[in-house]
Amino acid sequence: IIDVRNAPKHIKKDKIKNAIEIPAKNLNDYLDDLSKDKIYVVYDWTGGTILGKAVLLELYKYGYEAYELAGALEGWKGMNLPLENI
């Protein structure tokens, strides 16, 4: 699971438990660190924003298998699923 939010840690405050943080604006700097043998799920603040979708398209472009988390972080929190502080 990849947290693609561009905000600094003090703004984010929390993330999905065990998610890796790769800000969308820095994605290209991290592509070599991602394995093409894994499936990735990306998320942003809410399902209505385009940041997660933009990252998803970039990952597709470079041959990664990836999906966008339906409902994004807002939906995850709404279902009371595991989070961790940043």
Give the architecture-level CATH label for domain 2-85: 3-Layer(aba) Sandwich (3.40)
How would residue 69 be classed by pLDDT, with cut points 50, 70 and 90?
very high
Domain ranges of the chain: 2-85
pTM > 0.85: yes
CA distance 76 to 5: 15
pLDDT tens, 35-67?
999 999 999 999 888 999 999 999 999 999 999
CA distance 31 to 62: 8
32: Cβ contacts below 8 Å, ≥ 6 apart: none
